[in-house]
């Protein structure tokens, strides 16, 4: 099973389990005090090389906690402004641990595989935030406030934002099993059950162009395909004037939400940290294809029931059939323990993982 396939299974299993939990156990699901404590199998001495994203300081907090159990362990850090250097650091620089602010792209896997002839091990270490900038905020789907639509499935989002494709990706391997015909395109509001004046109105799509955000949506909705709705209007996250705009307007998230506020027939995706300033747009609840419809709220991101939440990852170079190096193994065990997830909670930038997700990640540490 590839990392990408495993991630999809992880998302589904987490949603099903979380939806079945009673409200009385909800707080326990992501309270680190309910997690198993860290117990070292080996005392680590010497250096651990870490190259990649510092997760806004979270990695350094983990290091300090780890050294309470391993006082002779030291860290050689090379934190980059972007997570793009994380996976290359494994095969070019011999890094023990490579933190990344988001999951790897096909091109990241391909370069590693061509060098090593196997895939890096991907381990989720924290849940992204509800809305905080730079903290892997959850993706929100919004429409004009006059739109009667209230909910959508991820399959419907594919139909709305995507286009016909001949396949998708499983790791670095292109597969026709992810093909989607044009007949599954959703281009009018009537196809979503709206009637009257809405029935034949075309759906205008809006969203981001920034590679990190756009690639994540392609992974989540299109199986890493890159075919988008022909009318997709693209915007950058920050304030930026694009010379190609005839009016010299800033083609950024503010303009996107301004336009959607006036467009009864539009739909957009982005962060709630931007949309919350626009009262004329409203949020759509989402379903993981057949599951319950879930609103984007802080609690639903924390308990991982919201389908478009994101994760922080660490990548390890682990040869198949060989045990993980003790330095990386013990550090990852610490991160995925009560103490490591308490560090996440105390830092406050991300959300801690629940035990069922941690158990899935620990299976990868051999």
Give the helix/strand (H/E) hosting 124: strand 121-127
Matching fold, domains 3-129+311-362 and 140-295: yes
List C-alpha distances in Å: 51 to 38, 93, 350: 24, 9, 20
What percent of the chain clears pLDDT 90, i.e. is strictly above it?
73
Q: Are 40 and 70 in contact (CB under 8 A)?
A: yes
Question: Are 244 and 184 within 8 A, CB to CB?
Answer: no
Q: Please tell me the distance from the alpha carbon of residue 314 to that of residue 137, in angstroms, as a whole number.
A: 18
* 246, pLDDT greater than 80: no
**pLDDT one-digit tens code per residue, 298-342:** 999 999 999 999 999 999 999 998 999 999 999 999 999 999 999
Residue predicted with more confidence, 139 or 9: 139
Integer Cα distance of 196 and 173 in angstroms: 45
C-beta of residue 119 within 8 angstroms of C-beta of residue 171: yes
Domain map of the chain by residue range?
3-129+311-362, 140-295
12 pLDDT more than 50: no
- Give the largest Cα separation in the chain, rounded: 71
DSSP annotation of 72? T
Query: Residue 17: its pLDDT value, please?
Result: 42
| Local structure of residue 326 (DSSP, 8 states) | H
Q: Is 302 helix (H, G, I), strand (E, B) or coil?
A: helix
Q: pLDDT band at residue 103, thresholds of 50, 70 and 90?
A: confident
From residue 9, give the alpha-carbon distance in Å to each of 6, 110, 122, 304: 5, 22, 14, 14
Tell me what the mean pLDDT of segment 225-254 comes to: 76
Domain 3-129+311-362 has CATH 3.40.190.10: yes
- Predicted TM-score (pTM) of this structure: 0.87
Find out if CATH 3.40.50.970 is the number for domain 140-295. Answer: no
Q: How many CA atoms lie less than 13 Å away from 292 in the CB half-sphere?
A: 15
Cβ contact 235:251 at 8 Å? yes
Residue 20: burial class (beta carbons within 10 Å; 0-12, 13-18, 19+): exposed
Tell me the pLDDT tens digit for each residue of 57-88.
Answer: 999 999 999 999 999 999 999 988 777 789 99
Taking only the tens place, the pLDDT of each residue in 113-143 is 999 999 999 999 999 999 998 899 999 999 9
Enter the DSSP assignment of 305. -
């Amino acid at each position: 099973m590839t990392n990408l396939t495993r991630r999809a299974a992880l998302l589904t299993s987490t949603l099903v389990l979380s939806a079945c939990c009673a409200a009385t156990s909800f707080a326990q699901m992501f309270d680190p005090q309910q997690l198993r404590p860290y117990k070292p199998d080996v005392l680590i001495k010497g250096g651990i090389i870490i190259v990649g994203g510092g997760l806004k300081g979270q990695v350094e907090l983990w290091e300090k906690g780890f050294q309470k159990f391993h006082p002779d362990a030291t860290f050689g850090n090379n934190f980059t402004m972007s997570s793009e250097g994380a996976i290359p650091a494994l095969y070019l620089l011999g890094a023990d641990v490579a933190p990344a602010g988001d999951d790897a792209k096909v091109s990241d896997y391909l370069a590693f595989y061509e060098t090593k002839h196997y895939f890096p091990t991907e381990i989720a270490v924290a849940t992204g935030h509800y809305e905080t900038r730079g903290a892997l905020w959850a993706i929100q789907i919004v429409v004009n406030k006059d739109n009667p639509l209230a909910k959508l499935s991820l399959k419907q989002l594919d139909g709305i934002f995507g286009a016909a494709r001949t396949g998708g990706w499983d790791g670095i391997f292109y597969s026709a099993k992810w093909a989607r015909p044009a007949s599954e395109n959703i281009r009018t509001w009537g196809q979503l059950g709206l009637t009257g004046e809405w029935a034949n109105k075309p759906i205008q799509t809006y969203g981001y162009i920034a590679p990190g955000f756009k690639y994540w949506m392609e992974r989540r909705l299109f199986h890493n395909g890159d075919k988008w709705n022909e009318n997709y209007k693209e915007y950058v996250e920050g304030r930026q004037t694009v010379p190609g705009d005839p009016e010299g307007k800033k083609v950024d998230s503010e303009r996107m939400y301004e336009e959607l506020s006036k467009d009864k027939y539009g739909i957009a995706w982005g962060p709630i940290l931007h949309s919350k300033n626009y009262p004329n747009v409203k949020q759509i609840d989402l379903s993981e294809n057949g599951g319950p419809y879930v609103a984007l709220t802080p609690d639903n991101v924390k308990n991982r029931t919201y389908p478009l939440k994101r994760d922080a990852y660490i990548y390890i170079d682990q040869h198949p059939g060989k045990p993980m190096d003790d330095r990386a193994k013990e550090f990852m065990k610490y991160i995925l323990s009560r103490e490591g997830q308490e560090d996440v909670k105390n830092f406050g930038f991300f959300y801690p993982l629940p035990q069922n997700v941690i158990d899935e990640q620990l299976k990868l540490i051999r």
